[in-house]
Amino acid sequence: MNNIDLNGQTAVVTGGAQGIGFAIAQRLLRSGAKVSLWDLNREALDIAVEALGEGASAKQVDITDLAGLNRVHAEVEDEVGAVSILVNSAGIAGKNATVEDYDPDEWRKVVEINLNGTFYVNKVVIPSMKAHNYGRIVNIASVAGKEGNPSLSAYSAAKAGVLGLTKSLGKELAKHDIAVNAVTPATANTRILETLTKEFIDYMLVRIPRGRFLEVEEAAAMVAWLVSKDNSFTTASVFDLSGGRATY
């Protein structure tokens, strides 16, 4: 494992209690950062913090609750330190259905969590990062945001929106030494698969030239560099994690 120096940094990882978010939190801790996990699942948070050990803490919060996000951000800055790293990993896949049959309430739920939630969390951390003239933000999008997945239109549209948000925000904050980038994972073998049909899972796997799903540690390795001081120039960019699937 390559060494990434994050000593003295305070990181927030949303959706950090499990899956890709947990793997990222683990890698950031090993690199010297203190990490606050933000997640809605209290039980999963307790298990994650115990597993991660020293340097890890947790806040139970709904990323669609702007007031709640402002509250826990203030608590973290008071208890742990100024947040200099943000990784937005919280999200849901939503149900499989064609656009014609997609339930509008389910659509709104998926977009509210995956896109609007990412917007809310970014919005909350920006003022403090600007005040310190430094920050690193990574928004976890998806290859679906580039290519679209049939019967997963809400998720695909929301993740495409995350890419647009990242590009806009990266340009807005470039002069404050705040890098804002996105990664586009192909399917990883995490609990999000539990909400998808076997047919859809097989559909995604066959389209990955690597012939396998993403390992969460591979995502964590890329993110660790993106949130480091070594990433001193690149911002408003999208980094591919699709195993060769993406066509651009």
Active-site residues: which are they? 155
For residue 212, the tally of other CB atoms under 10 A from its CB is 11
d(CA 217, CA 27): 8
As a dihedral over the C-alpha atoms of residue 98, residue 96, residue 215, residue 141, rounded to 10 degrees, the angle is: 60
Return the closest-CA partner of residue 124 out of 63, 165, 174, 179: 63
Return the closest-CA partner of residue 236 out of 138, 157, 159: 138
Which structure tokens are listed for 64?
A: 């669609």
Name residue, tokens 């928004």: 139
